[in-house]
Amino acid sequence: MAEPDQAGATPPAYFVADGDVLLPDPVAQGPWGPTLSGHVVGGILARGVEQAGGGDGLQPARLTVDLLRPTAIAPLEVRTTVQREGRRIRLVDAALVQNGELVSRASAVFLRRGEAPTGDIWSSPVTMPALPPDPGPLPANLPMFVWGYGGEGSSGGEYGFAEWHAGGPKYAWVRQLRPLVAGETVSPFVEAAMAADATSALTHWGTSGLRYINADYTLSLTRLPKGPNIGLAALVHGSHDGVASGAAAVFDEYGPIGNSMAVALVNPVESFQPKTMK
């Protein structure tokens, strides 16, 4: 759910719905140029697959977003198709279309919950840093709140990405500040999907900044998040000849909820160097 701004009013949404067409607000622009941010594109596609395949006791368990080409800040449509309908599984595809052209797509798996088996299964332990302190008033045009931790992530932390220039593990807490579509409440699944776009920045950021731009990302969930704060802990980065792959563990404030992965290619023009708030 979006949070009120300093004046107590809910900030403008990323989109306004006009029938089946979504009209973007300029605040939806991303950091790589005059195009829609990847987290907004992923949120709209997640909203589409959830509307088509959610409910009936089925949980969204996996979402893959393919960022096929830059998405203009212009009207768009989301077209969904149920690819498989089973008793325990439902597969849904979504296509984001502008001017009749496919610009991004997603596929999702919904699974039916059941009784968990007994016994223990080994997993590498990962601990998120504590939730960030109240940052106080935030800029009115801020799309989301990101609190990054560098080093071992056990203390400190700062608004934005400054600490990611340090070596060592990286962590972030992400909270959406504005509605995705005007008049709608952002669902927990969409909250997680929008936060998962940060996987690429989290895992591919180096001491010279972010030199990779993601081509896709995948989010897997064992349960839906509780509350608006989504945590990401970088697990692994690998890259060769300008192609990178990174993975992160995903948390809410109560514990781990899944994993995310992003594939990216080197951006030869310049690194992404966002300003931080002091």
pLDDT, tens only, 153-181: 445 566 666 556 666 788 999 999 899 99
Q: Which of 267, 231, 265, 262 is nearest to 249 (CA)?
A: 231
Count of residues for the chain? 278
Report the pLDDT value the prediction gives residue 270, as an integer from 0 to 100.
56
Report the pLDDT value the prediction gives residue 9, as an integer from 0 to 100.
65
Q: pTM score > 0.85 for this model?
A: yes
Instruction: Report which listed range, 209-213, 219-223, 273-277, is most confident.
Output: 219-223
C-beta separation of 272 from 220 below 8 A: no
- pLDDT (tens digit per residue) in 13-47: 999 999 999 999 998 988 777 889 999 999 999 99
Supply the mean pLDDT for the chain.
87
Report the pLDDT value the prediction gives residue 154, as an integer from 0 to 100.
44
- pLDDT (tens digit per residue) in 44-97: 999 999 999 988 889 999 999 999 999 999 999 999 999 999 999 999 999 999
Amino acid at 26: P
Domains detected in the chain: 15-113+130-266 (2.40.160.210)
Question: What's the whole-number mean pLDDT along residues 241-252?
Answer: 97
Report the pLDDT value the prediction gives residue 156, as an integer from 0 to 100.
58
Residue 271 above 60 pLDDT?
Answer: no
Identify the residue with better confidence: 271 or 226.
226
Question: What's the whole-number mean pLDDT along residues 245-256?
Answer: 97
